[in-house]
Amino acid sequence: MLLSVIDIIVLLFFFTCWVGYSLFARKRARTTHCLSSILCELRIDWMRNVMHKDNQIADASLIGNVERTVTFFASSTILVLAGVITVLAHADQVVNVLNELPLTPATHVNMVQFKLAVLALIFIYAFFKFTWSIRQFGFVSVLLGVSVNYQQNQRPEEEREEFARHAAKVLDQSGHEYNKGLRTYYFALAYMSWFLHPIMLVLSSAIVVWVLYRREYKSRVLRDLLATKGFVPGKKVKE
């Protein structure tokens, strides 16, 4: 067999941590204050303010800055993929290096090639998330251009509120896709520890989950962001 029983177990544990935490964070954000929930509120406030402006030059600039950041990660992912493919072509040399490391179990070329192939798939997933986020930020730019009509034509407040909420939803989805791409990078770093030892993959996966949870639910920046709206960390989100 290409993978031993322990390798299969730790690989399943890795993907369980990744997928499980993503589902947990998505569900919990609907009921408990966290980074995702407060950013959604702030984005709604942002779009509401846009509906009462004569121009959106500053807002378009802010969107452009974020879009450039996401574009940087998308471009970097392509470079990482090129590096992984290059290493994949020289897997025999990687095996020699790994077999010389202390406490690293003996491995073979096919095993290393399999690990590198999975690593490439992980970064391909990240690339798709980043590029989809870039496209959605482009959609937000279009909405900012359309919002001028609501100010110039003095649309009713109900129409402005509805437009602001939908625009904020698109902006929020763009941020979520960007976040998923970053989260993929976190777990990709954890995955790389599998080259050293299967147990390292278990430990690094658990550490990544802990770090993500602390930052999204227990961080100082979360407390400060919640304070801007008078919210308290850990409290339930009002329906």
Q: What is the mean pLDDT of the chain?
A: 90
Q: Considering just the CA atoms, what is the radius of gyration of the chain in Å?
A: 22
Q: How far apart are CA 86 and CA 96, in angstroms?
A: 16
- Which pLDDT score is estimated for 1? 62
What is the residue range of 185's domain? 5-28+54-227
The verdict on residue 161 lying in a domain is: yes
Whether 160 maps to a domain, the answer reads yes
44 assigned to some structural domain? no
Decide if pLDDT at 94 tops 80. yes
| Partners of 236 in beta bridges | 32
Q: Would 46 be classed as within a structural domain?
A: no
Domain annotation covers residue 234: no
Task: Using CA atoms of 232, 235, 236, 238 in order, give the dihedral in degrees to the nearest 10.
Answer: -30
* Structural domains counted in the chain: 1
Confidence of residue 205 (pLDDT cuts 50, 70, 90): very high
Contact at 8 Å (CB) between 141 and 96?
Answer: no
Residue scoring higher pLDDT (56 or 26): 26
Q: Note whether residue 235 is domain-resident.
A: no
* pLDDT average, residue stretch 178-186: 96
User: Which of 106-110, 164-168, 206-210 bottoms out in mean pLDDT, i.e. has the lowest?
Assistant: 106-110
Give domain status of residue 165, yes or no: yes
In a domain, 237, yes or no: no
Q: Is the pLDDT of residue 236 over 80?
A: no
pLDDT in tens, 112-158: 999 999 999 999 999 999 999 999 999 999 998 888 777 666 778 88
How far are the Cα atoms of 48, 124, 173 from residue 166, in angstroms, in the given order? Answer: 11, 30, 11
